[in-house]
A and B are shown apart, each in its own frame.
Chain A
Amino acid sequence: MDVVQLSRIQFALTISFHFIFPAVTIGLAGLIAIVETMRWRTRRDVYDRLSVFLTKLFAVTFVIGVVSGIVMEFQFGTNWATFSGFVGDIFGAPLAAEGIFAFFLESAFVGIVLFGRNRVGSTVRWLAGVLVCLGTTISAFWILVANSWMQTPAGFKIVTDANGVSKAQMTDFWQAVFNPSTLPRLFHTLAACWVVGAFFLMGISAWYVLRHRNSDVTAIALRLAVIVAFLGSGLMFVSGDLQTREVQANQPLKFAAMEGVFHTEKGVALELIGLPPSQSGPAAIPPLAIPNGLSAMTNLDPNSEIKGLDQEPDTSLWPPVTLTWMSFHLMVGLGVLMMLLMLFGAFFWWRRSLDSSVWWLRFAVLAIPLPIIAVELGWMTAEVGRQPWIVQGLMMTSKGVSPGVSATDVGISLIAILLVYALLFFLWIYALTKEIGRGPEAAPGVVAGPAAPVVAALPTAGQSGEGN
């Protein structure tokens, strides 16, 4: 394999691994902010314990997100040096802004949330929780600005420097920041992260109920999670619809590949279930489809024209159709599945049998990874669908790699990353299982109040370390 392929595999691996963790922490931070607000307002012990429990799940996830995130921050330079030189004038600013406005905020106040419960008053503790949530959200904003600019570049001009190398130069910062795909992508991604966090808590609470470890804490956790998961699942479809329309307008080839439309024609059907198309044409077996559905959905006119892949006669500029189609359809399929689960959840809640609907609870446990998988598939759609471009229409992916890095170098780092990330994933699952096994009841019932009295002497060596 050549250095381009290896670098692409390494980027795909590092970004899909990394994104699991911010997705979970953004979702959990939202839940922590809600629970902290309840605790602060009501001063009830049950919210205190739930907040501490959520914080522990957050902590083990956050640290892996941080370390795998540093890899991302450096990887543009290590593996994609030509790309970095080309986009740096625009792309660097959102990365630096993410550091200044988001990473400092979240990591500073995570310190208070994890270690300072007893050192600050109730209000500061609440504020710290809210600021961590704000930090994770601002972080999502800036990194999505950077990604969106690669999808739908705006606010720039192409210049040629003294050495004859062309590069993108910023002409309008706000146009670059609010390029056409930033806001649709932000809404869809944030909603997805809330769903990830809510399904996470919902599954864990359901597991406690199934294991007869339910308590006042798990009852509240389950209900909070169901509310957020229900609303979030609905929001996924609204924001997903918005984003698909944006893709249709700005990246029509990606849209055609997502929907498997090869020929530009009127009254195009909406494929529901079917075999994936190949790079050259649709699957031999016709899919289950709604006649004229895609035309109707896209343009609100069942007989309207949809532009197919053939709008670009140069097939070397088509994205990988099979992968784009599959990831998009699987994502939508999982979204439907999750919405169904939430509709049943709402129904059982209305029937006052949420805690006794064993099958629903079991499905809720099994559903924990579903939104994470859907998020990965969504990113796969966005990134694979942009190919062969690294910056849509401006720079080919194959032209963006580092000139001085050899295939051997990338091969070595790829294998090392694979091993380290496998270990990190195992450690994450291990730590989560341990915290979940311990349960929210084990959390110290520190009712919000003034700082605990200072104990001067250090405990002796014999004392066992029940760590955080």
Chain B
Amino acid sequence: MPSLQTVWFLLIGLLFIGYAVLDGFDLGAGIVHLFVARNDAERRSVLNAIGPVWDGNEVWLITGGGALFAAFPLVYATVFSGLYLAVMLLLGALILRAVSIEFRSKETNRLWRMAWDAGFALGSALAALLFGVALGNIVRGLPLDDGGVYRGGLAGLLNPFSIVMGLLTLGLAAQQGSSWIVLKTEGALRTRAQRTGVASTLVVIAAWLAATGIAWFDSNRVFDNFARNPLAWIGPLGTAVALASMLYAYRRRQEFLAFVLSSVAIVGLAATAGATLYPNLVPAVDASRSLTVNNAHSSDTALTVMLVIALVGMPIVIAYTAFIYWKFKGKVQLDEAGY
């Protein structure tokens, strides 16, 4: 029986994986839409493909943040204040894309729509990139001082490993978004999205190899768990299999399967990141200062209450979310109830 704090390590992992899989496709739709959608009707098709669900997807991030606050307050406090300007930039990116989605279709003026289309692309790409840069710095280990505070500023976050990790999440989101557009649209739009999907997968593979290589030469504890526990290999092996099968599914025009496999690749890479971290949540360069599941968690009372909340609430959430996706299944139509 794993400890309560390990259960919460997994549950928060699941919330962020839910976010990466779901918001991943609408961030990705933003990243690739300038490349795949060539006219106004196509742009609106892309928006309508994510329209009914994107802000529900973003709730996974909000809930993940809340759960992190509740279960590991010190991690929430250290990471969000340590990465201050990066978090502010991320919030700016999320605001920009949300506003772009909402306001783009309010005017028919070409410049107006071009500006918001660019905002949608920029906000989405920046958000996806920053998630990876943040994750990269955490996996790599933050230089926490003796008060447990990171004081490196924004510049301290820009190192080769983290930038490559940023490209990895950018590529993953683009792949996920392309797969979603392939699933939800038809014709030339669908064909182009399939091409950006394959291109993004190549970026993902290249960035993944580069990240692994940099981590190898950094020779830090990133690989410890893989040497210790063979179960840790499920993540990277699952990802490799999923990516290869996804490319095959694209060729066979198995749209739904390709989207599922793209999602599996995200889950696999997130599991890989989780495996490198555990039992750390925020490894410090000086390991004695690391925030782990054993020194940063809330009381058993709080964790138990939260577990009850999650066990009661999340099955209901998943049920009606599935219902909503079911209602909006199939290729998008441009009708009056849309953008």
A: residues with CB less than 8 A from B are: 59-60, 62-64, 66-71, 73-74, 76-79, 81-82, 84-85, 87-93, 95-101, 103-105, 107-112, 114-120, 162-163, 167, 169-171, 173, 402-405, 409, 412-413, 416-417, 420, 424, 427, 430-431, 434, 444, 452, 454-455, 458-461, 463-468
> Which residues of the other chain, B, contact A120 by a CB distance below 8 angstroms?
327
Question: Is the CB–CB distance between A115 and B301 below 8 Å?
Answer: no
Most chain A beta-carbon neighbours within 10 Å: one of B87, B327, B338: B327
Question: Is the CB–CB distance between A96 and B309 below 8 Å?
Answer: yes
| Complex: chain A residue closest to B332, CB-CB | A458
Question: Is the CB–CB distance between B41 and A92 below 8 Å?
Answer: no
The reply to whether the CB of B177 lies closer than 8 angstroms to some CB of chain A is no
The reply to whether the CB of B216 lies closer than 8 angstroms to some CB of chain A is no
| Complex: chain B residue closest to A128, CB-CB | B324
> Which residues of the other chain, B, contact A82 by a CB distance below 8 angstroms?
77
Question: What 13 additional pairs, Cβ within 8 angstroms, besides A84-B80, A104-B320, A466-B336?
Answer: A70-B61, A87-B73, A92-B68, A97-B66, A104-B56, A169-B302, A170-B305, A171-B301, A404-B150, A404-B151, A430-B106, A458-B45, A458-B333
Question: Is the CB–CB distance between B305 and A405 below 8 Å?
Answer: no
Within 8 A of A (CB), among B102-152: 102-106, 108, 147-151
Which of A107, A459, A466 has a CB less than 8 Å from the CB of B41?
A459
Question: Is the CB–CB distance between B104 and A77 below 8 Å?
Answer: no
> Which residues of the other chain, B, contact A64 by a CB distance below 8 angstroms?
99
Question: Is the CB–CB distance between B320 and A464 below 8 Å?
Answer: no
> Which residues of the other chain, B, contact A459 by a CB distance below 8 angstroms?
41, 334
The reply to whether the CB of B218 lies closer than 8 angstroms to some CB of chain A is no
Q: Shortest Cβ distance from A124 into chain B, in angstroms?
A: 8
Question: Is the CB–CB distance between B320 and A108 below 8 Å?
Answer: yes
Q: Shortest Cβ distance from B178 into chain A, in angstroms?
A: 18
Most chain B beta-carbon neighbours within 10 Å: one of A88, A98, A431, A468: A88
The reply to whether the CB of B274 lies closer than 8 angstroms to some CB of chain A is no
> Which residues of the other chain, A, contact B84 by a CB distance below 8 angstroms?
78, 402, 404-405, 409, 413
Within 8 A of A (CB), among B38-79: 39-42, 44-45, 48, 51-53, 55-56, 58-59, 61-63, 65-74, 76-79
| Complex: chain B residue closest to A172, CB-CB | B301
| Complex: chain B residue closest to A402, CB-CB | B81
Most chain B beta-carbon neighbours within 10 Å: one of A81, A101, A424: A81
Which of A70, A118, A430, A467 has a CB less than 8 Å from the CB of B62?
A70
The reply to whether the CB of B210 lies closer than 8 angstroms to some CB of chain A is no
Known A170-B299, A403-B149, A404-B82; contact A92-B52, beta-carbon cutoff 8 A? no
Report the separation of the CA atoms of residues A427 and B112 in the bound assembly, to the nearest whole angstrom: 13
Most chain B beta-carbon neighbours within 10 Å: one of A69, A92, A112, A114: A92
The reply to whether the CB of B337 lies closer than 8 angstroms to some CB of chain A is yes
Interface of A is mostly: helix
22 inter-chain pairs at a CB distance below 8 angstroms, sorted by A residue, are A66-B98, A70-B91, A73-B65, A76-B76, A76-B80, A81-B78, A91-B70, A92-B306, A93-B302, A99-B59, A100-B63, A103-B59, A103-B62, A107-B56, A107-B58, A111-B51, A114-B337, A169-B299, A170-B299, A431-B103, A461-B39, A468-B337
Question: Chain A interface: which of B25-33, B229-237, B310-318?
Answer: B310-318
Question: Is the CB–CB distance between A81 and B81 below 8 Å?
Answer: yes
The reply to whether the CB of B186 lies closer than 8 angstroms to some CB of chain A is yes
Question: Is the CB–CB distance between B56 and A108 below 8 Å?
Answer: yes
Q: Shortest Cβ distance from A406 into chain B, in angstroms?
A: 9
Question: Is the CB–CB distance between A467 and B339 below 8 Å?
Answer: yes
Question: Is the CB–CB distance between B102 and A60 below 8 Å?
Answer: yes
The reply to whether the CB of B220 lies closer than 8 angstroms to some CB of chain A is no
Q: Shortest Cβ distance from A121 into chain B, in angstroms?
A: 11
Question: Is the CB–CB distance between B74 and A88 below 8 Å?
Answer: yes
Question: Is the CB–CB distance between A468 and B338 below 8 Å?
Answer: yes
Report the separation of the CA atoms of residues A83 and B138 in the bound assembly, to the nearest whole angstrom: 22
Q: Shortest Cβ distance from A402 into chain B, in angstroms?
A: 4
Known A112-B52, A162-B295, A404-B149; contact A99-B66, beta-carbon cutoff 8 A? yes
> Which residues of the other chain, A, contact B187 by a CB distance below 8 angstroms?
458
Question: Is the CB–CB distance between A88 and B76 below 8 Å?
Answer: yes
Question: Is the CB–CB distance between A458 and B147 below 8 Å?
Answer: no
Q: Shortest Cβ distance from B121 into chain A, in angstroms?
A: 17
Q: Shortest Cβ distance from B29 into chain A, in angstroms?
A: 15
Report the separation of the CA atoms of residues A458 and B187 in the bound assembly, to the nearest whole angstrom: 9
Known A92-B67, A93-B306; contact A108-B81, beta-carbon cutoff 8 A? no
Question: Is the CB–CB distance between B302 and A96 below 8 Å?
Answer: no
The reply to whether the CB of B92 lies closer than 8 angstroms to some CB of chain A is yes
The reply to whether the CB of B194 lies closer than 8 angstroms to some CB of chain A is no
> Which residues of the other chain, B, contact A402 by a CB distance below 8 angstroms?
77, 81, 84
